[in-house]
Amino acid sequence: MNENSGLDSQQKNADLTVVVVDECDEIDVDLDAWQTLAEQVLSSEGLATCGVELTIHFVDEVAMTELNQTHMDSSGPTDVLAFPLLEPAEIAQLSGLGPQLLGDVVICPAVAFRQAEEVLGRNAVDELALLLVHGILHLLGHDHYHPEERAVMEARQDEHLAKFLHE
């Protein structure tokens, strides 16, 4: 567990608030790095001055299994879940609404690390970055059920990840 484990990490950038909660004991999570990436993504998406708040939760497999079963009717843990609180039309008008909660992104590092190694052949940090960006884009109304939507979402993901991986 890292020195920040169990603690909330919160950063404010004018009207942007990102809260990161580490509820995962078995894997070290760099709260500041993921907070910074989330802030960069939201800023790049034009939300830096819109008064938005996002919460990121890093959880263990037991918690993720429960969330996945309850909210997605799927068994077992998954890598990432997003719980948006706003509709896409509301997001488009955020600048005039005052402070708004975007929602929560929940990531299971154990699942992410396992699939990064065993299935995808990429490193764990890159996988966590992908999952965080993916979850944030879901909160912002992006989806991937249809090929056109998938292409747009993947292009946005790639753009954000390219910035992150080159810093």
For the entire predicted model, the pTM comes to 0.86
Q: Is the pLDDT of residue 7 over 70?
A: no
Give kind and range of the element (H or E) at residue 110.
helix 109-115
Count the alpha carbons within 13 Å of 19 in the hemisphere toward its beta carbon. Answer: 13
Q: Between vectors from CA 18 to CA 86 and to CA 36, what angle results, nearest 5°?
A: 125
Residue 97 confidence (pLDDT) = 60
Say how far apart CA 133 and CA 139 lie, in whole Å.
10
Residue 49 confidence (pLDDT) = 78
Residue with tokens 């402070």: 99
Residue 15 confidence (pLDDT) = 78
Q: Which CATH superfamily is domain 8-165 in?
A: Metalloproteases ("zincins"), catalytic domain (3.40.390.30)
Condensed to tens digits (0 to 9), the pLDDT of residues 8-62 reads 544 444 578 999 999 998 888 999 999 999 999 999 998 887 888 999 999 999 9
| Weakest-pLDDT range from 6-10, 106-110, 155-159 | 6-10
Arithmetic mean of pLDDT, 80-92: 86
Q: Is the pLDDT of residue 1 over 50?
A: no
CA–CA distances in Å: residue 118 to residues 65, 113, 161: 20, 9, 21
Residues 84, 139 contacting (CB under 8 angstroms): yes
Polymer length of the chain: 167
**Rounded to an integer, what is the distance from CA 134 to the centroid of its chain?**
6
Q: What is the DSSP letter of 96?
A: G
Q: How many Å is the maximal CA-CA distance in the chain?
A: 46
In this structure, the number of other CB atoms found within 10 A of the CB of residue 146 comes to 9
**Mean of pLDDT over the chain:** 87
Number of H helices, E strands in the chain: 6, 5
Q: Is the pLDDT of residue 135 over 80?
A: yes
Residue 108 confidence (pLDDT) = 98
